[in-house]
Structure 1
């Protein structure tokens, strides 16, 4: 945002833009009204990261227009819950965009951020939890964090987790992704001294209630230092982990 204002002032000084035109552009700095969406231009100032596009429920054309606008003002763009059709639409305005099919995320990373000191460790209970785990990991990565992964170490085979105690304890923040009964978050929380962000997934049989059982178990964790985000909310967990890791030890 500051760069946009500087460029605008320079354009006015150089006579490329009139004062009246500059005033009109300033009106759009808080947000840009595209008719079907109001793109928040001030989010980077408030939260140190630009707006992220949630693609689910949007048409490919709407996504394309939003990305096309963001691409003019931002080096890095993140689109979550993106289908292949959404990715193809984004490629039309951002040919450098990359699609992470498992996580259903589109990433434009023109200017990678300087890495924070600490490491974020994303842990998954099972392979079926990987889409949500990868959503968290990719989110944290594009926000300037060193991310490590530890997958398929659920409580059904606890020795798989205990074999990686050093990695667990070296992490500055841990994101633990689990479906079924969601017990892995409590186990990890009892092994480490750092914040644990628990992510319940909708993976499980009928009584899992599409992730509700994992959510309730994580909320009732007996391990201290465990916080919980919504069901399947890998993006929210990755963003929260990135905020915590900004103050890495």
Structure 2
């Protein structure tokens, strides 16, 4: 591994790592696991942890995540015992005490199958020092659950809605709550759900005003957007 340059870049056989990104935009560089050899992932994680910056590794296959957790001081999202097929990993969390303002982000996951994507959003938010309130299995198949879930996150600064199938939960929440809303379509669902495409188009076409939508299964992007919103609120307070 080469020493850090003046612009915060560190280079190894696994590539460049940008240790100054959080100073520029408030968000650290994350490590996207799919397609990377385990040796490259290990090298990048070592770079990130050594920099002291928050470390976030996304979409890690569970068996590989187990090996990485054994090797490094990393927290898995969701917990490994839940045996989710994909896991996000986090290290070097930002102390909440270092922030001007700690935000609260409500995360509503329509179904239990949406947990890994919702947990990825929570990984980003919590690793960057903010709080989350996670409500699972509150989809519109039983609307009373959706109503109760919205009551549970009524005091949140931002709400992230994670839903597959037809993605209706985003419209229900967007038409009921005033907070900034980030909708995450997931690839959960049968047939016409088309791997998340139906939920994506439904969320983009929602008549609930001001709903922001990220790509299919992009819990990481939703978490980053939530942190940007909370950070902007803190600067303008």
TM-score, with length taken from structure 1: 0.82
Computing the radius of gyration over CA atoms, which structure comes out larger, 1 or 2?
Answer: 1
Provide closer, same or farther for how the CA distance between residues 111 and 237 of structure 1 changes in structure 2, counting only shifts above 3 A.
Answer: closer
CA 1:224–1:187: 2 relative to 1, 3 Å = same
2:90 paired residue number = 107
Q: How does 1:72-221 map to 2 (within 5 A)?
A: 72-83=50-61, 84-89=63-68, 91-92=70-71, 94=72, 96-100=73-77, 101=80, 102=84, 104-109=87-92, 112-114=95-97, 116-221=101-206
SS of aligned partner of 1:67: helix
How far residue 151 of structure 1 moved from its aligned partner, in angstroms, is: 1.3
Distance 1:195 1:234 in 2: 16
CA–CA distance in structure 2, aligned partners of residues 119 and 174 of structure 1: 9
CA distance in 1, matches of 2:154, 2:224: 21
Task: Give the secondary structure class of the aligned counterpart of 1:136.
Answer: helix
For 2:229, the equivalent position in structure 1 comes to 244
Given candidates 230, 235, 239, the residue that maps to 2:220 is: 235
Compared CA separation, residues 144 and 111, structure 1 to 2 (3 A): closer
Corresponding position of 2:35: 57
- What is the CA distance between 1:25 and its match in structure 2? 4.7
Name the TM-score, length of structure 2 as normaliser.
Answer: 0.86
Q: 1:162 to 1:111 in 2, by over 3 A?
A: closer
- In structure 2, stretches of 5+ residues that fail to align are none
Shift of 1:86: 4.7
| Residues 1:168 and 1:69: Cα distance change in structure 2 (over 3 Å) | closer
CA deviation after TM superposition for structure 1 residue 64, in Å: 0.6
Q: Could you give the per-residue CA deviations for residues 173-205 of structure 1, whole angstroms, max 9, x where no partner exists?
A: 000000000010010001111111000000011
CA gap of 1:231–1:161, structure 2 versus 1, over 3 A, is same
Residues 23-55 of structure 1: per-residue CA shift (max 9 Å, x gap): x95646442222342111221221223211111
Secondary structure of 1:63 counterpart = helix
- Any runs of at least 4 consecutive aligned residues in structure 1 with deviations exceeding 4 A, and if so which? none
Q: Which sections of structure 1, spanning at least 5 residues, go unmatched?
A: 1-23
Contact 1:30 1:40 (8 Å CA) reproduced: yes
Secondary structure of the residue aligned to 2:154 is: helix
The residue matched to 1:163 in structure 2 has which SS? helix
Partner Cα distance (2:90, 2:70) in 1: 11
| Aligned counterparts of 2:13 and 2:176: Cα–Cα separation in 1 | 50
The alignment partner of 1:169 has SS state of coil
Aligned partners of 2:230 and 2:208: how far apart in 1? 21
